[in-house]
Structure 1
Amino acid sequence: MMSGSVDAIIGREISWGEYSMKALFRIVLAAIGVLGLLAVAVVIYATTFLDPNDLKPRLADAVRERTGLELSLNGPLSWTFYPRIGVTVEDASARLPDQSNDEAPFAAFRQAEARLRFAPLLSGNIEVDGFTLDGLRLNLERDAQGHGNWETLVETVARQGNDQPASPSRRPQSVASAGDRPLAMDIASVQVSDGQVHFEDHQNDRNMTLSSLALQASNVTSGGAFPLELSFAVKGSQPEMNGTISLKSQASLDLNSAVYSLDNLALKGAMHLSALDDTHEQSFGLKAARLAADFDQQRYSVDSAVLDGTFYLPSLGEHALPLGVEASGEVSLAEDQASLTSFALTSGQLLRLTGSGKASQLSNDLHWQGQIDMAPADLRSWLERLGKLPATADAQALQRVGLSSRVEGDQRLAKFTDLAVDIDDTALKGSVSVGLGSPLLHASLEGDSLDLDRYLPPSAASAASSDQAPQPRADGAPPAANAGASLNESTLALARSLDLDLNLTLETLKARKFQLENVVLKAQGREGHYRLSRLNADLYDGALKANGAMNVAASSASLSFEPQLTGVALQPLLKDALGRDDLFRGTLNARAALSSTLEGNDTWLDHLDGKASFTISDGAMMGINLPGQLCTTAAMLQGNNTSHEWGSDTEFDRFAASVDIVDGVIQNDDLNVALPGVDITGNGQVDLKAQDLDMALAARLVNTADTQGCPVSSTLSHIPLPLHCSGSLSDAPAQWCRFDADAFSAILQKTATNEGKEKLREHVDRQLEGKLGQRIEEKLGEASGSNLKDAIKGLFQ
C-alpha cells in the first residue's frame, strides 16, 4: 500500500512538471506574439500618422553637422510598410559651404529609395532588401592652385570620425548577448542608374565627364562575395577622349576588418583618342584574378592582372598595334614599400619585356631595385609602329635587340648593372646610369664589334646614290661628301644639359667608314662642355691617338680635335673613307690641331680651321707617272728620244707638307716630294667645301742611276719643270696634273736672260783686266781708275 502511494505521488509530480513546462512555453510564445503585434502596431502607427516630411529640417541639420554640406530636400519623402520598410527621397541636392545658389550643386539625385526587411529587425540584424539611386549628379572641381572641392568634405568627415570614442578593435569578437553582436549587412540588391560625375581640373586644363553611369549588385553581404557590374560613358578634353567602359567582378566587402576585394575582374573599354587616331577606336581589356585593399593595414595587391589593348596610330594606317601587360604585385603604405613579383610587357611577336622588383621608402626617398629581361626582338618594327624610328643608314638595323640587366635607382637616377645587350651583331656588357630627373648618361661598356655607321643618319654620299640627287649649297658650291649635318635646336638643348661620362672598349669599330680595332674611348662633361680625353685605336696597321673638346653652352657650338696617326696604311684608309683606292698608297704619319664652329644651317666643314702636317713614306701616287712625263719632256727639250718603259704610278720615297686650314680651305707652301731622280716642291690649296684643288709644282730632274732612261744635261738639271695640278677631288689623279708650258716658257726666258748677262759680265771682266783697264788707269791714275773699274763691274752683278 505504501508502495502504491509513492508511485501515485511520483506520477502526480511528473504530470505537474509537464504542465508547468507547457505553460511556460505558452507564456513565452504569447509574450513574443504580443511584442510582435506591438512592434507591428508601432510601425503601422508611425507610417500612418507620422509625416516623414516633418523630419527634413532634422535631416538637413544632421548632414550639415556630419559633413558640412547644405542639404536641400526639394521633393517629398515617403515610406512604405510590410513586407518591407522603405523610404523614398526625391529631388535632393547638397552644396558645399561656400557655394552660391547660382552654381551647380556639389551632389544631387533625382530619386533614392531604401528598403529594409522587417523580420530580421526583430533579431537585431539589418537586412536591406534593396537600394536604388536614380539621376545621381556629382561635380568635382580642382582650382588653379590644385585644391579640390571635395577635400573640405573629406576633412570634415575625418574630423567627425576622430571625435568618436575609439573602439578597441574593428575585428569580430565574441559577444555575451545579442545586443553586443555586430550588425550584419545583407542587401538584396543595389542599383544606380543614369548617374553622372563631372570633373574639371583648372590647374591642368582638363575636363572629364562620366555619364550614363549604371551600377548593379545583388546579395551584398559583409565578408561574402557578390556579383558587381558597372558601366559608364566617358568624355573629356586634354586629352580629347570619348568612349565607354564596363566592369564585371565578384566583390567582397568586409566592413569589420576593412578589407575589400574584386575577384575574377573583367574590365572592357573602347575609346576614341584624338591624340592617337581620329578615325579608329582604341580598345582594351583588363582581367585580374584578384584586386584587394586592406585599409586597416594599408595594403593593396593585384594578382595575375592581364591588360590587353589594340591601338591605332597615324603611322600604322589601317594596321593595329597590339600591346599587353601582365603583372602581380603588392603595395604596403604602412611599411612604405612595394613589390612587383612578376611583370611582362608584350607587343605580339615584336616585343617581350619581363621583370620583377621591389621598392622602399615610397613616401620619402624612393629606392627601387629589380631585374629586367628583353628577349631578342624586332625593335625596328616596334619603333616604326610607334612613329619613333630614327633615320638609320641601314634599313635592317635594330631588327634584333635584346637585353638583360639588374636595375636599381631612386627618383633621380636609374642604374643598369650586370648589363648585357645584344644589338644586331653587337654584344655589349657593363653598366649604364640614366638620369630620370635631368639628362644624364654614365656608361662603362665593353663589346666585340660595332658598326656605328648602320645606326647613324644616312650620309650625303648615300643620298647621292638614291633617286634624289643632293642639292647644291647656298653659295653655289657642290655639296660636300660627308660634310656633317647641322645640329637642330632639340639636339642642342639636350647637349647643353647632358651630364656625360662614357668609357667604351671595343674589339672593332666602324665609324664614318673608318675601320678601328682595339678601341678605347673616354669622354666626359656637363652643362654643354664636353671633352674627349682619350681615343686610342689600331688603324690600318698603324695607330690612332686623339683628344678633343666640344662646347655647346654658347649660342654657337664649337669643336676642337687633335688626332695623331702613326704608321697608317694610306690606301685602305682612303678606300674606306672615300670609297677610292686609286689615289695614294704608302705609310702615313700625321698630326693635326683642328677647330670649328657651328651656326645656323652651317656644317662643321664650313668653319674648319687649324694646322696639320703629314708625311707619306715609301708610297706612290696612283694612276699617273710624273717621272715618265717629266723625262719625256726633258728628252724633247734636249732634242732626244726616250724608249724607257715607265710604270703606271708615281713612286716616291717621301711626300710631306705642313698646311694651314681656314674655313675649310687647306693652304700649303712647303710641299716636298722626293722621287727617284726627281725632287718636287710646290704650293697651293685644296678646298674641302668645293671639293677641288689648285697646286703649282716645280720638278727638278737629277742625274742618278735611276734616271738611266732619261739622261739630263747639266743645264737642264738646274731648270725646274713646272706642273699645274687642279680639278675636282673626285677625278682620278691622272686628270689632276699636267706640264705647264706657259710657266716653262717664262722660266726659259728668265734663264736665257740670266745666262746672257753672265757671259757679258765675263767678257767685260776680261777687258777690264786687260788693255782697257791699263788705259783707264793711265788716264785717271791708279786710284781713280780702280774705282771706275769696280763701278763698271757692279752694273753686271
Structure 2
Amino acid sequence: MKALGKILGIIFLGLLLILVGLGFALTHWFDPNDYKDEIRQLARDKANLELTLNGDIGWSLFPWLGLELHQTTLASAQTPQQPFAELRMLGLSVRVLPLLRKEVQMSDIRIDGLNLTLQRDEQGHGNWENIGQPAKDSARDDTPVAQSTPPEPAEGAKDNAALPIQLDIDSLKVNDARFSYHDAQTGQQFSAESIQLETDAIREGASIPLKLSAFFGTNQPVMRARTEVRGNLRFDTALQRYQLENLRLTGEASGEPLNAKTVTFSAQGELLVDLEAQIAEWNSLKFSANQLHALGDLKVRELDDEAQISGGLSIAAFNLRDFLEGLGQTLPEMADANALGRLEMSTRLSGTPNSILMEELRLKLDDTTLTGNVAVADFSTLALRAQLKGDRMDLDRYLPPKSEADSASTARQAEVKSSSQAAGDGNSPLPNAPTQQAWSDAPILPMDLLRQLDFQLAVNFGELVFDKHPISNASLSTQGKAGLITLKELRADLYNGHVDASGKVDVRNALPQLAIASTISNLPADKFIQLDNQPSPIKGLLDLKADFSTRGNSQKSWVDNLNGKADFLFSDGVLVDANLDQYLCKAIATLNRKELSKESRSRDTPFEQLRGNLVVTNGVANNPDFKASIPGLAISGNGSLDLRVLGLDYHIGILIKGDQREMPDPACQVNERYVGLEWPLRCRGPLELGAKACRIDQDGLGKIAGKLAGEKLTEKLDEKLGDKVSPELKDALKGLFKR
C-alpha cells in the first residue's frame, strides 16, 4: 500500500509538473496579441460590440488566469465611429482551480481611465443600444431550426449548477473614471468626473470597507457637486440582501439655483436592500444641509411594483431666513426683519415615488405652531393638499413694510390736506370734489404662478393678526387648479363681530376676473373705515351684505371695474365731527335773521341707525335711499361715493320731528313753523373729511324761506281780506307767493 501511495504521489506530481510546463509554454509561446482580429470578430458576432484594442494584451494562465488590457475602446457595431467606452488600463487575475468549484478568487482589480459616454440622438436612439445581442446571420436565420428537447443534465451537474458563485477578491480600485450622458432631444447633460473607488477584500457575507468620491454636474440647471461616500458593504447573493453599514456621505454643491452660493451637505445611516422581500430601508437617518439638521427613517416596500414609502422625519430648530439666504434665495422684504427666524418640524411620512403625505405634522414657525396633514398628491403638477390648524399668527410680520405712497396716492394726500385746511370749522365754501386717483396701478397677482397651482387648502387659526386687527376663530377653505381659484369659505370673528365670505379669482385669461360675496355682522366700523391715518368719519356697528365683481390686476383696475351691490346698516353709532345741531342752527338763524351768539364747537352726533343700499357701477357707488335716525331728527338723502378718488357727493335733508328740541343758540330757537320742514345739507369732498365736507344747501334754504314767506303772507291775506274776495282769487294769490 505504501508503494501504491508513493506511485500515485509521483503520478500526481508529474501531472502537476506537466500542467505547469504547459502553462509556461502557453504564456511564452502563445501571444494573444496575434489574435486581435479574431477577438474583435468574436465581439461583433457574440455581443454586437465593436472592440478596438490599441494597446497590448498582457496575460497569464496558471495558477492565476490573468488579463491586462491597455488603450481599449468599445462601441456598438451599428455605430463603430461613436465609442461609448474608453479604457486606459484594466488589470485582473483569477485563480484557476477554484473556478472549477464556482469560486471566484481574484487578486486586485484595477481600472484606470475608464470613460463612459452615453448619448441619445434626435431620434431617441442611444449609442449603447443592441449591445450584448448576437449579430444576425442571414444564412442561419433562413435555415429552419429543428425543435429538440435538450438532454437532462446529470444529477451532479444539477447540484453544481444550483450552487451560487462565491466571490473572493482582494480589492477593487477604480481610478480617474468618468461618466457622461447627453440627450440631443432635450439638451440635458449629466456628468460624473474624477470617480475614485477603493475597497478592501470583497467576500460574501463579510463587511467590505469602501470609499467612493466623484464630481457631478448638470446643465439644466447648471449645477456642480462634490461628493464622497464611505461605509461598509455587506451582501448575500443567495438571499439577495445588500447592506451599506455606517454610511457617511459628505459633499458640497453650487450652481444657478443657488445664485453663486454653496451648500454643504451630509448624510448618515444604515442602508438595506432586500430584493427577496422587495424592501429597502434607510435607518438611523441623519441629514444636514448648512444650518438644517434632520433625523428620521425611511422604508420602501413593493420595489418591483409601485413603491410604497413610509417613515418619519424630524427637523431640529434652525434659522429659516439664514438657511434660505445661504441657498441663494432672495426673500421679499418683510415688516419684521426677524421673521422666519425659527423653524422646526416633525411628521410621519407615507407615499409613492410621485407623491408624499406628511401626517401628524407639527410645525413651529417663529411663535406659531401648526398641526395637521400636508400632501403633494402629484410631484409632476405640484398638486398640494393641506389641512392645518394653528394657534396664533401675526401676519403683519411677514407682509411688506408700509412703504412711501406712490405718486397717485401722494397727490391725493396733498389734495385731501388742502381740502381739510380749507374746510376749517365749516363756514368755508363747499369743498371741491376730489380728482386725484387714490389707488396704485402696480401688479398684485403673480399670474404665471397662479396658473400653475393645483391645491386644496383648509386652515383654521385660533388667533390671527392682520393689518393690526385681532382676528379669532378664523377658518379658510380654498382650492385652485389651472388658474381658477375658489374661496369656498372664509369665516372669522373680529371685535365681537363676524365675517363670512366666499369668492373666485380666475386668471385663466389675460385679464383676471374676481368676484366676492360677503356678509358682515356687528362689526365696529371705525376699526376699518379709516384712510391714510385719518380718524374714521363714522363709528357704530356695521351689518353689510355685499356681492361684487371686478377685473384687472391692480388696485386701480379693481376699483375702476368694480360692479355689484350692497346693503348696509350702522347701529348705535356716532357721526364723528358732525355737529348736525350746529348746521341746523345756522339754517334756522339765517331764516330768523339773527346772528349766532356762540362760537361753533365741534362735537359728534350720535345716531340710532344709518342705513341704505349701494349700487356700484364701474367704481361709482350710488346710494338712492340714505336714511338716518337721530333723536329728535330724521335724516334722508341720496348721493354717490366715487371709489376711484374716494369722494362723496350727497344731498341730505334734516327733518325736525317736534318743537321741543333744544337748540345750542337762542338765535335758532325752533318754532312750530319749522317743525316738519326738511332742512337741506350738501356734502361734497374727500371721504376722509366725513361731516366736515357738509354745508348748508343755500339753494334749498332759499326755497324754505320762500315757502315760509308765502305761508306768512297767506296768513295776512286771510286776515285782511277775510270774505271780501272770492275763494278763487284768494287761492290764486296764495299760489303766486308759493312759487
**TM bucket, shorter chain:** 0.7 to 0.9
Q: How does 1:272-351 map to 2 (within 5 A)?
A: 284-292=226-234, 294-312=236-254, 320-348=262-290, 350-351=291-292
Q: Is 1:361 matched up with 2:311?
A: no
Instruction: Please give the alpha-carbon distance, in whole angstroms, between the structure 2 residues aligned to 1:250 and 1:511.
Output: 63
Aligned match of 1:464? 404
* 1:99 maps onto 2:79 in alignment: yes
8 Å CA contact retained: 1:286, 1:305: no
Counterpart residue number, 2:147: none
Is the contact made by 2:228 and 2:250 (CA closer than 8 Å) also made in structure 1?
yes
Does the residue aligned with 2:669 lie in a helix, a strand or coil? Answer: coil
Distance 1:590 1:435 in 2: 39
Superposed CA deviations along residues 371-422 of structure 1, whole A, max 9, x for unmatched, are 2222333222222333163554443322222222222223454333323222
Confirm or deny that 1:738 pairs with 2:695.
yes
- Could you tell me how far 1:76 is from its partner in structure 2? 6.0
Q: Does 1:206 align with 2:195?
A: no
- Other-structure match for 1:140: 118
Q: Residue 439 of structure 2: which of 480, 485, 489 is its match?
A: 480
Query: What displacement does 1:636 show?
Result: 4.3
Q: From 389, 392, 417, give the equivalent of 2:331.
A: 389
State how far apart, in whole Å, the 1-side matches of 2:65 and 2:503 are.
88
Q: Answer yes or no: is the 8 Å Cα contact 1:522–1:532 preserved in 2.
A: yes
Q: Quick check: 1:130–1:190 contact (8 Å CA) kept in 2?
A: yes
Q: Distance in 2 between matches of 1:587 and 1:341?
A: 60
| 1:571 aligned counterpart, secondary structure | helix
Q: Percent identity?
A: 28
Relative to 1, partners in 2 of residues 1:203 and 1:751: Cα closer, same or farther, differing over 3 Å?
same
Evaluate the alpha carbon distance shift between residue 486 and residue 397 of structure 1 in structure 2; reply closer, same or farther with a 3 A threshold. same
Where 1:705 maps in the other structure, the secondary structure is coil
Aligned length: 693
CA deviations 1:633-667 (Å, max 9, x no partner) are 42243134455986621222222221111222222
1:59 equivalent in alignment to 2:39 = yes
Q: Does the alignment pair 1:447 with 2:374?
A: no
* Offset of residue 327 of structure 1: 3.4
Q: Does 1:626 align with 2:580?
A: yes
Decide which moves more: 48-57 or 607-616: 48-57
Cα distance in 2 for partners of 1:413, 1:594 equals 38
How far apart in 2 are the matches of 1:506 and 1:398? Answer: 19
Q: What is the alpha-carbon distance in structure 2 between the residues aligned to residue 44 and residue 405 of structure 1? A: 68
Task: Give the match for residue 237 of structure 1.
Answer: none
Change (3 A) 1:526 1:30: closer
Identify if the C-alpha distance between structure 1 residues 511 and 341 changes in structure 2 by more than 3 Å, giving closer, same or farther.
Answer: same
Q: In structure 2, do the counterparts of structure 1 residues 125 and 598 end up closer, same or farther at CA, with 3 Å as the change threshold?
A: closer
CA change 1:197–1:408 in 2 (3 A) is closer
Q: 2: CA distance between counterparts of 1:125 and 1:299?
A: 19
Call closer, same or farther: CA 1:544–1:29 in 2, change over 3 Å.
closer
Q: Which amino acid in the other structure matches residue 594 of structure 1? A: F
Shift in CA distance, 500/757, structure 1 to aligned 2, threshold 3 Å = farther
Structure index of larger Rg: 1
* Matched residue SS, 1:335: coil
Q: Distance in 1 between matches of 2:230 and 2:670?
A: 98
- Check the 8 A contact 1:480/1:691 in 2, yes or no: no
Change (3 A) 1:375 1:204: same
Output the CA distance in 2 between the equivalents of 1:375 and 1:113.
Answer: 48
**Out of 517, 522, 528, which is 2:472 matched to?**
517
The residue that corresponds to 2:653 in the other structure is 698
Query: Would the alpha carbon gap of residues 305 and 586 (structure 1) be closer, same or farther in structure 2, given more than 3 Å must change?
Result: same
Corresponding letter in the other structure for 1:352 = H
Distance 1:326 1:126 in 2: 32
Q: 1:465 to 1:632 in 2, by over 3 A?
A: same
Q: C-alpha deviations, 1:253-304, integer Å up to 9, x for none?
A: 54xxxx79752x44455678788899xxx66443433244555544343333
Q: How far 1:432 moved relative to its partner?
A: 3.2
Task: Say which of 674, 682, 685 aligns to 1:724.
Answer: 682
Q: Secondary structure at the match of 2:200?
A: strand
After the TM superposition, which residues 103-142 of structure 1 pair with which residues of structure 2 at under 5 Å, given as runs?
A: 103-109=81-87, 138-142=116-120
1:649-688 alignment to 2 at 5 Å?
A: 649-688=604-643
Q: Match of 2:285, SS?
A: strand
1:493, distance to aligned residue in structure 2 (A) = 0.7
Gaps of 5+ in 1: 1-19, 158-162, 174-181, 211-233, 235-243, 774-788
**Cα separation, partners in 2 of 1:167 and 1:105, compared to 1, 3 Å:** farther
Distance 1:479 1:345 in 2: 52
Q: State the structure with bigger RCO (CA 8 A, min sep 6), 1 or 2.
A: 2
Q: State the TM-score, normalizing by the size of structure 1.
A: 0.72
C-alpha separation in 1, matches of 2:618 and 2:724: 60
Contact 1:605–1:689 (CA under 8 A) maintained in structure 2: yes
Name the aligned partner's letter for residue 406 of structure 1: R
State the partner residue of 2:361: 419
Matches of 1:613 and 1:585 in 2, distance apart?
17
The C-alpha deviation readout for 1:200-230, integer Å capped at 9, x for no partner, is 33344234566xxxxxxxxxxxxxxxxxxxx
CA distance in 1, matches of 2:586, 2:99: 128
TM-score of the aligned structures, taking structure 2 as reference length: 0.77
User: Aligned partners of 2:571, 2:184: CA distance in 1, in Å?
Assistant: 75
Partners of 1:272 and 1:298 in 2: how far apart? Answer: 32
SS in 1 for 2:492: strand
Q: Which amino acid aligns with 1:500?
A: Q
Distance 1:574 1:133, change over 3 A: closer
Q: Is the 8 A contact 2:33 2:56 kept in 1?
A: yes
SS in 1 for 2:357: strand
Residue 585 of structure 1 is aligned with which of 512, 515, 539?
Answer: 539
Alignment match of 1:616 (pick from 554, 557, 570):
570
Structure 1 pair 356–390 and aligned structure 2 pair: CA distance change class (3 A): farther
Report the more deviating stretch, 688-697 or 317-326. Answer: 317-326
* Contact 1:582/1:732, CA 8 A, preserved across alignment: no
CA contact (8 A) 1:434 1:440 kept: yes
Post-superposition shift, 1:610? 1.4
1:250 to 200, 224, 248: 200
Following superposition, the deviation at residue 628 of structure 1 comes to 2.0
1:434 and 2:376 matched: yes
Aligned letter for 2:578? I
Amino acid at match of 1:596: T
Counterpart CA distance in 1 for 2:74 and 2:258 is 49
3-state SS of 1:309 partner: strand
8 Å Cα contact 2:658-2:676 kept in structure 1? no
| Residue of structure 2 in register with 1:491 after alignment | 449
Structure 1 residue 367, shift from structure 2 partner: 2.2
Report the counterpart of residue 456 of structure 2 in structure 1.
Answer: 500
CA distance in 2 between partners of 1:200 and 1:29 (Å)? 63
Q: What is the match of residue 422 of structure 2? A: none
Q: Does 1:595 align with 2:535?
A: no
